[in-house]
Structure 1
Amino acid sequence: MGECTKFGEEDLEHAIIEDFKARGYEHVKGETIQRDRREVILFNDLQTYLRHRYPDITDGEIRVAATMFRVSDRGDYVSNRETLQRIREGYSIKREDMKTTLWINLLDFQHPENNIFKIVNQLEIQGPKNDRRPDAIVYVNGIPLVVLEFKSAIREDATIYSAYQQLNIRYIRDIPELFIYNAFTVISDGVNSKAGTVFTDYPDYYSWNRSEAKDPSSDGVNSLRTLIDGMFRKERLLAIIRDFIYFPDDSGSNEKILCRYPQFFAATELLDNIGPHMKPKGDGKGGTYFGTTGCGKSFTMLFLTRLLMRSKEMRNPTIILITDREDLDNQLSKQFIRSRRFLGDENVLSMDTGTNLRNKLKDVASGGVYLSTIQKFNEEGSMLSDRSNIIIISDEAHRSQLNMEQADKIIDGKRKHTVGFARILHDSFPNATYVGFSGTPIDETMEVFGDIVDEYTMAESEKDRITSKIVYEGRAAKVALAEDQMAAIEEYYKDSLDRGANEYQVEKSKKDLSKLDIIIGNEGRLEKVSDDFIAHYEARVAEGATVAGKAMFVCANRRIAYDFYQMLKRKRPEWFEVREADRPPKEGEEKAEPIEMVKLVATRGSNDPADLFELCGDSAYRSNLQTQFKKIESNFKIAIVVDMWLTGFDVPFLDAMYLDKPIQKHSLIQAISRVNRIYEGKEYGLIVDYLGIKKELDLALNKYARGGIGRGTYPESGEFAKIVKETLSALDGRFHGFDSSGYYSDDSSKQIDCLGRAMEFVQQDKEFEHWFMSTVRKLKTAYNNCVYSDDITADERSRIYFYCGVRSMIAKIISGNAPDTAQMNRKVREMLEKAIQSDEVSQIGIIIDNIETDRIDLLSDEYLEKLESIPGSNTKFKLLERLTRMAIGNLRKINKLKADSFSERFNKIVQKYNDRHMGAEELRQIINSMTDDVVEMLNSELVSLIRSIDKEEKEADALGLTRQEKAFYDILAHTIEIYQFEFDTAKLPDMARDLKTCTDEVCSVLDWSSKEDVKDGLRMKIAMVMQKHGFPPIYLNGVYDEVFKQMENYKRYSE
């Protein structure tokens, strides 16, 4: 069998470069570019472009143009924002005659073929303190617009996250000049590929999974090619840079948003659709965008508005954004008002009253962006404008925004003609074009706004991890008082399917709902619901199945919500004590207020009893409740709601909604979507159903999810209980023969001993260890979604705790990560805390912490004695392995030759460890009689190797050499050893010092490693040193090669 071929970072880099070349990019190796290493602009390309774009431009004007667009003295963020603004919008320079100006556009957006596109790899950049060499940079007209960083897909330790850290920590720290011009960054390991910015947190880096709007989404290996094709076709890259990178007007937050692919395609598809549908030639229906709730539609509106405002065909349009609720209008208004510069219009206004709205819009001749609720169009009046270049964008395009009807009603004994809000809006702007955004479009949506132009489904959003998956748990049977109650609820939903929307049917629906509220609010039923909720909520918290303990309970009406609130207060009075936050706030954020754990969130009614009226509070009070609930650390954990917060309310760490209200169709999808936001550690959002509306949910999903999970159904908690049982069975099978009885005793020392033995058992085999760690993670994820299931027995729960405890301890050994006690059962948490405090495990923890922080002399005899005293041969080996890797890694930075030698010995020892048994079956049969002796022998070999490294570290001092000089000493000694010739080794220290001096001289030359004349000079200097000390010249080539490798190695690590 031939030698195994590995696919590393260089191979990935080469493959990506080939993809760029196929799209018309010129590939240039960084080392071939003649430039000052501190300079990141390719001035020759910029000059070539400017000469072609402006034939009469002079050399002096080119120099002025090249310096004026750089803003480099206002901090990383502001400099990047201002420089990109000039790159996108252009700027003027004074001509040399000082009488005229010349407008400079650094990119030709209209004619991509006029630009110079290059992909440059391994360009060395000199920073203020350290040098760096990014894997690849995309240049357009000599401007470094995109930086790409790659990691190996086959090295487990080289993750895409490490590529993120390389860019967003080390590069921006060490070579900030490069990121003044940066539009966005790309990270990839060949399987996972994502784009973001250096001001973007890692969770907000996203894949680009479509090349074209109508393409199916891709993943895995194909996603890299799709990202390159979808983002780096020349015209696409220019479009993204010009219109789809967002900065707010203020600079306080360092906010920079790169569009996600559904936002790009939605905005561009809508723009293309609006033009043909504009009146007088079109029908005024600009189209409907169907984007699942939580997918970022507000930014899609912002990008679309920018495109419309900049479109020549639109002739400076007026944009009106309409919502149907004040809180949604406030959210959208805040975003748009801080985006005036991005939109290119200072006239971006939120209208506070209907009168102001009508007065303002009546006087507008062109331009402007206005935000309002539909309800402000509440008076019939004259036409406000008959212009056709008015675009009206409706957010959540259903409900009142579709009410085009007129009717005569008897009010207070008098006949009154009523007109729907939407009808008034359309009459006010009869020639406008109407565009609808909705996560739940209905037939009437398309009738008012036109056909669906683009869509982004719930399934796609969940697959892309833009939104979280949702789990359904039905608990109606647990709280129903009688069969007839369940039947009444089912009858309500059955009847609702046949209902239309005329006023008589709506009136009947209200009466039916009123009857249903009597059943739902029955005191006996509500007592059972409150008991079940308390037990269910407390179980989730105790099991660590929730990120922050945030939950929303949805009641049918305000009276029922008040009764439920009072029941909880009676049963759990401690929940209603005002308490401080359970953790400090994030840096830069205000501290959460002391507050109760449970709050009722509802508007006041004029006929409310005094207690309810006081409890609901005014608008300022409710606004503050919203602020406190959105703080993860706040003691406010449970929000009891009726209608408020069920749409347009985003709390990413909210992971449970308890439904006890009849909700249907699009309103149901909107409500459950409150728990679908992404947050670290949140695998799913949970919906607990107390009414038995699973069938209604399935119908809504089939209509609005468009291929959601299970083709219109969510996974149920019962399905996760099956996964738990299956996974437990698999784990039990692999642990056959292992005595875990000590864990289940009440003796803490036996429990700790059992955990230690289980760690050893798992680590006997690398393949088994990997399987165990991933399987227990799967077990815990499934268990989190069925913690209160009756299908999980007490014995099964105990076994779950055992396996999770073992996994957490192994994670501590392998990676130094502390056990994740926040998401752990309370019993296991307490046991692990005892275990960590015990002498044996505490010793391990101290050693790990020291390895991680390098606080003491890790290679000392005293330290190695501590390591050798650790119980458990496999645990000891893992710690010694980590220590050895670190020691060799530190040595490699200074002395490549010796590090390579030690690394070879180390790899052989690790290979023996991995190959120390004959297979899992035989291992299980002989585990009690064999492997400890083998592993202890390997531990001794590792200790011996560590002592050799320590000796190597100290040998430089004995020779009177620095560690860098010792590297050259070893090259000379190695040459003597290989070729077996006589030489006075007493001369080697002086010779090593001379080699170090001549290499220092060479390294002071810019780009020395890529200049042949400099390398020839180095060879000559080495020959002179050899001649001076009588070293045989026949070995010049060998010495030169090793010296050159050492110089490159030292240079690489010094960066």
Structure 2
Amino acid sequence: MAHQSEYALENDVIQQLENLGYERVKIRNTAQLTDNFRNIINERNADKLKGKPLSDSEFKRMMIDISDKSVFDSAMILRDKYVLTRDDDTKAYIELLDQDKWCKNTFQVTNQVTVEDKYKGRYDVTILINGLPLIQIELKRSGVAISEAFNQVQRYQRHNFTGLFKFIQMLIISNKMETRYLANSDKQLMKGYMFYWTDEQNNRINNLHDFIQDFLEPCHIAKMISRYMITNETDKLLMALRPYQVYAVENLLNQATETNNNGYVWHTTGSGKTLTSFKASQLLAKQQDVQKVIFLVDRKDLDSQTFAEFNKFQAGSVDDTENTRTLLKQLGDDSQSLIVTTIQKMAKAIKSGNPVMDRYQEDKVIFIIDECHRTQFGNMHKLIREHFQNAQYFGFTGTPRFSENKSQDGRATADIFGRCLHTYLIKDAIRDGNVLGFSVDYMRTASMHDMTEEEYVQAIDEAEFWDNQDRLKEIAQHIIKHYDKKTSNGKYTSILTVRSIPIAMEYYRIFQQLKDEGQHNLKIATVFTTQPNQDTKEKVDFKYAREELDSVMKDYNAMYDTNFDTNNYPGYFTDISNRMKKVVPGEKVDLLIVVDLFLTGFDSKKLNTLYVDRNLQYHGLIQAFSRTNRIETETKPYGNIVCYRPLKAKTDRAIELFSQTDNTDTVLAPAYSTLIQEFRDAIAKVFGIAPVPESVDALERESDQEAFVLAFRDASVLLVKLKPFDEFEFTVEEAGISEQMFEDYQGKYKHLYEEVQLRKKNKEKEDIEKVSILDDIDFKIEIMRNDLINVEYILDLISQINLEDKTAQRKDRNEIHKLLNKADDEKLRLKSDLIREFLDEVVPSLQKDADINEVYYRFEEEKKDEEIEEFASAKEFDIEELKRLLSEYEYSGQINKEAIDKRTKGGLLVRGKKVNQIADFIKHTVYKFTNVS
């Protein structure tokens, strides 16, 4: 069956957009784009311009002010009024986008706009709003992997999005059957931020025709840009909300503005509730009849994460002081419409008797409550409700209370907040790739092997059995033995949760003893509360807890060269939190022992394993498990859970409850027996195509090469999932192939991948019709880099260097030096001297708020320019021509030796030698300064 051509697909798209109300315009270059923009500005702002269109000089000044800025700055300009100083010195306030009356904007569509900047580019379909290109659609024919369209957009973003194209807010990528959207960025575009659009019930709208009909309807797309994108001023980042976030905010706004009722949003842990709740808070704060929007968070969730997130979006909204003075000041300030504080501090403010609180017995206030499954069932919540008598309450939770897991006072979340406004369940988030599923192991220690299942379950609350020293030591040794498997050779961190502070200390001492005996070199820490908390069920001797934690802190200080004690508990807590997120070898916490802390509200992509030696159920179980399931790279396929208690029935029940399904397979990884058989079958398929690694070289037909690539890729994906299992051994007997033979096949696989990448670069810029089968394959090459110390890994570590603490910075740099010394990655060795120079000469002089990534890339560009200048001088070759040749090779993979020869001085033999030297320099330089391994 013949595929529809991309040109025909473009016309279908444009025709559909015309039917939706877009005006089709013929714009083929940037000059025509600019003229069109000028005409629309004059038309739409005629009243502000008092009937006098922009003069040439006025429009030129405007273009200088607004054009070719960064993507982030352009997004800010778009959302503001542009103040034009006219030729007669009067002011005109030009509106670029109507953010309130979305449908009143001017909607146009064009295609095949050609731009020529560093490289030539021709865009498929461009949507213009008020003459500005705000949405770019990149199309591939049906059957081509959507990743190919993404790669093309990445290239446009790097090389071609200039001038007014810097205003592009959103990118839409489709191969007709699969369609995604993502926000534009000044930084590298990430596949993980391509989102599906869905309906309100979380059903995907994937087909391009249906997507256009729903998402690109003029009023809707203008509303998405105006209301449901966020300008993150701290990170200088433009962000688009996911569909479930849009629906939740929309429903919450309707409930708040059209009724006096409360409500709650049930979005699974890890799905971005902070961003959703911020956007809801921000929009509510703009409502005229709302005096204050107050975002409440529980103190125990304060690892400073939520506060930091809110301050990114609205500086100064957060009250992070210890006393209530700042909060009372914010409550009395009419200009501050959004406040972020703790429920504990709000209760203190009410009790303070300060007259500023009197007005809030009548003023309209909206409370947005984070993790409302915990914070709203105590006396403090009752106190707040009694004082704020004209308030509405909206909760966000990943694990609501139902009749099965109701609070101690017998109430469920719906009893307090009323109806659920929107749901996005863990099964939805796993399907969409927003969080990972769980791989759960249920371990039985030696002391349990002679027990019947009934005796085993009955023993669950018997401290004498569960707290037995031999049992705890056996578990510690099991953790040590399999630690590398579970954490991908220490690439990730882990948590052990236990039932009490004394047991946490028992485990801590056992691990220290085993370390002294030389059984491990893991860095172990523990943290627990030393102050009373209404949510802590455990009866704690806080004097004992403080003494124990002081002793732990002494070990911690020696291990990390810090200086903490219990008088600086917040500093210790924050330091541990950072070490659980920022995985620098030698500086991270390998295993953190906790009771309740870090099991809720803590987000770290670098945490992948949770060991459980306590009884968990319902919301507590899901919350704890969900610490491990943040998306990172393909080398983290699941959150690993290891249970040393009989929790299978409770796990299944919790998943069924919070996924609203009786099928736990949507959340849990397949059993080891299933995965190993799938791997053996996949390897058998590889053997069927290429019986030995050398056979791959004999695969001449592209269809055979494609079959090998797909078969080996599938096997590699399965291998990543198998590696964390205790029982996995990479032997012929267990896996069906030896580790060495698998690596030999992997070498052939990588070679094919490199050939495809080179072929893509060598394609003529206009040759878009003849496509290789292999060009369309996503090789998933990331999974081949599981244990590599390569350029990407080192640059990631560099980006995490601590610029605020000179001692920590020095240690970070030293650790990277050590990794460089033992690196065996070819490109990293090539760059190592460059990186060492940056670490030693540039990093120490950086200010604490510097963007390390940006500084490094500038440094690298300068070094690249120096090498080019030195080489051009030594070879007596025109430097501008050399730069042009470098750019051409970087883009097309081709070197024009005839052009080099024409610019080269000397006799025939001398020129021939120089031409080869220059060609080699071009290849070497491009390879060295490309930051992808």
TM-score (norm 1): 0.63
Instruction: Answer whether contact 1:402 1:422 (CA < 8 A) is retained.
Output: yes
The match for 1:823 among 780, 786, 791 is: 786
CA change 1:572–1:7 in 2 (3 A) is farther
| Corresponding position of 2:526 | 600
C-alpha distance in structure 2 between counterparts of 1:363 and 1:168, whole Å: 46
SS at match of 1:548: coil
Counterparts in 2 of 1:871-890, with a 5 A limit?
Answer: none
C-alpha distance in structure 1 between counterparts of 2:506 and 2:700, whole Å: 52
Residue identity over aligned pairs, in percent, reads 20
C-alpha distance in structure 1 between counterparts of 2:696 and 2:516, whole Å: 42
1:124 offset after TM fit, Å? 1.9
1:16 offset after TM fit, Å? 3.0
Check if 1:374 corresponds to 2:340. Answer: no
| Corresponding position of 2:368 | 393
Check if 1:668 corresponds to 2:630. Answer: no
Check if 1:309 corresponds to 2:285. Answer: yes
| Corresponding position of 2:511 | 568
| Corresponding position of 1:1043 | none
User: What 5-or-longer segments of structure 2 have no aligned partner?
Assistant: 403-411, 531-541, 554-564, 758-780, 790-825, 831-866, 868-888, 904-933
Check if 1:628 corresponds to 2:618. Answer: no
| Corresponding position of 1:1009 | none
1:178 offset after TM fit, Å? 3.1
1:673 offset after TM fit, Å? 0.6
| Corresponding position of 2:705 | 766
1:154 offset after TM fit, Å? 3.5
| Corresponding position of 1:181 | 167
Instruction: Answer whether contact 2:262 2:418 (CA < 8 A) is retained.
Output: yes
Check if 1:16 corresponds to 2:16. Answer: no
C-alpha distance in structure 2 between counterparts of 1:158 and 1:663, whole Å: 41
1:386-427 per-position Cα deviation (integer Å, ceiling 9, x unaligned): 235200111000223222xxxxxxxxxxxxxxxx11111111
1:247 offset after TM fit, Å? 2.1
Check if 1:197 corresponds to 2:149. Answer: no
C-alpha distance in structure 1 between counterparts of 2:753 and 2:78, whole Å: 40
| Corresponding position of 1:720 | 672
CA change 1:70–1:399 in 2 (3 A) is farther
1:367 offset after TM fit, Å? 4.9
CA change 1:367–1:801 in 2 (3 A) is same
The match for 2:457 among 463, 476, 490 is: 490
| Corresponding position of 1:647 | 600
Matching residue's letter, 2:371: E
Instruction: Answer whether contact 1:108 1:114 (CA < 8 A) is retained.
Output: yes
Matching residue's letter, 1:146: I
SS at match of 1:36: helix
Check if 1:237 corresponds to 2:229. Answer: no
| Corresponding position of 2:386 | 427
1:140-162 per-position Cα deviation (integer Å, ceiling 9, x unaligned): 11111122333444456971341
1:204 offset after TM fit, Å? 5.7
1:262 offset after TM fit, Å? 1.5
Pick which of 653-662 and 101-110 moved more: 101-110
C-alpha distance in structure 1 between counterparts of 2:431 and 2:380, whole Å: 38
Instruction: Answer whether contact 2:27 2:33 (CA < 8 A) is retained.
Output: no
| Corresponding position of 1:783 | 722
Pick which of 598-607 and 35-44 moved more: 35-44
The match for 1:615 among 552, 567, 577 is: 552
1:273-326 per-position Cα deviation (integer Å, ceiling 9, x unaligned): 112332xxxxxx4210000001111111111112112234xx243011111125
1:73 offset after TM fit, Å? 8.1
Instruction: Answer whether contact 2:202 2:244 (CA < 8 A) is retained.
Output: no
Check if 1:437 corresponds to 2:380. Answer: no
Instruction: Answer whether contact 1:553 1:657 (CA < 8 A) is retained.
Output: yes
Counterparts in 2 of 1:343-422, with a 5 A limit?
Answer: 348-350=317-319, 352-353=321-322, 355-356=324-325, 359-360=328-329, 363=332, 367-378=336-347, 381=351, 384=358, 385-403=360-378, 420-422=379-381
Instruction: Answer whether contact 1:12 1:152 (CA < 8 A) is retained.
Output: yes
The match for 2:436 among 468, 473, 492 is: 468
Pick which of 796-805 and 526-535 moved more: 796-805
1:152-188 per-position Cα deviation (integer Å, ceiling 9, x unaligned): 444569713412422332224xx2x234322222233
Instruction: Answer whether contact 2:613 2:644 (CA < 8 A) is retained.
Output: yes
The match for 1:25 among 22, 27, 32 is: 22
| Corresponding position of 1:694 | 648
Instruction: Answer whether contact 2:680 2:735 (CA < 8 A) is retained.
Output: no
User: What 5-or-longer segments of structure 1 have no aligned partner?
Assistant: 279-284, 404-419, 494-514, 579-595, 741-754, 827-841, 847-854, 856-885, 895-949, 958-1055
1:952-983 per-position Cα deviation (integer Å, ceiling 9, x unaligned): 999999xxxxxxxxxxxxxxxxxxxxxxxxxx
Matching residue's letter, 2:523: M
Counterparts in 2 of 1:902-917, with a 5 A limit?
Answer: none
C-alpha distance in structure 1 between counterparts of 2:203 and 2:447, whole Å: 44
Check if 1:292 corresponds to 2:230. Answer: no
Matching residue's letter, 2:497: V
| Corresponding position of 2:467 | 521
Matching residue's letter, 2:107: F
CA change 1:607–1:186 in 2 (3 A) is same
C-alpha distance in structure 2 between counterparts of 1:446 and 1:150, whole Å: 45
CA change 1:487–1:350 in 2 (3 A) is farther
C-alpha distance in structure 1 between counterparts of 2:666 and 2:172, whole Å: 34
CA change 1:760–1:709 in 2 (3 A) is farther
- CA RMSD after TM alignment: 4.2
Check if 1:120 corresponds to 2:110. Answer: yes
C-alpha distance in structure 1 between counterparts of 2:337 and 2:286, whole Å: 12
Aligned length: 741
Counterparts in 2 of 1:795-944, with a 5 A limit?
Answer: 795-797=733-735, 799=737, 801=739, 804-816=742-754, 822-823=785-786
| Corresponding position of 1:340 | 314
C-alpha distance in structure 1 between counterparts of 2:165 and 2:372, whole Å: 40
C-alpha distance in structure 2 between counterparts of 1:800 and 1:15, whole Å: 52
CA change 1:67–1:397 in 2 (3 A) is farther
1:437 offset after TM fit, Å? 0.3
SS at match of 1:134: strand
C-alpha distance in structure 1 between counterparts of 2:625 and 2:311, whole Å: 29
1:805 offset after TM fit, Å? 1.7
SS at match of 1:402: coil
C-alpha distance in structure 2 between counterparts of 1:243 and 1:576, whole Å: 56
SS at match of 1:569: helix
1:762 offset after TM fit, Å? 11
The match for 1:731 among 683, 705, 708 is: 683
C-alpha distance in structure 1 between counterparts of 2:390 and 2:502, whole Å: 46
| Corresponding position of 1:750 | none
1:529 offset after TM fit, Å? 1.2
Matching residue's letter, 1:79: D
1:752-782 per-position Cα deviation (integer Å, ceiling 9, x unaligned): xxx5457658999335413432331243144
C-alpha distance in structure 2 between counterparts of 1:632 and 1:736, whole Å: 41
SS at match of 2:135: strand
SS at match of 2:262: strand
C-alpha distance in structure 2 between counterparts of 1:489 and 1:392, whole Å: 46
| Corresponding position of 1:217 | 204
Instruction: Answer whether contact 2:303 2:577 (CA < 8 A) is retained.
Output: no
SS at match of 1:607: helix
Check if 1:706 corresponds to 2:649. Answer: no
1:537 offset after TM fit, Å? 1.9
SS at match of 2:491: coil
C-alpha distance in structure 1 between counterparts of 2:123 and 2:728, whole Å: 55
C-alpha distance in structure 1 between counterparts of 2:784 and 2:512, whole Å: 29
Matching residue's letter, 2:474: K
1:615 offset after TM fit, Å? 0.5
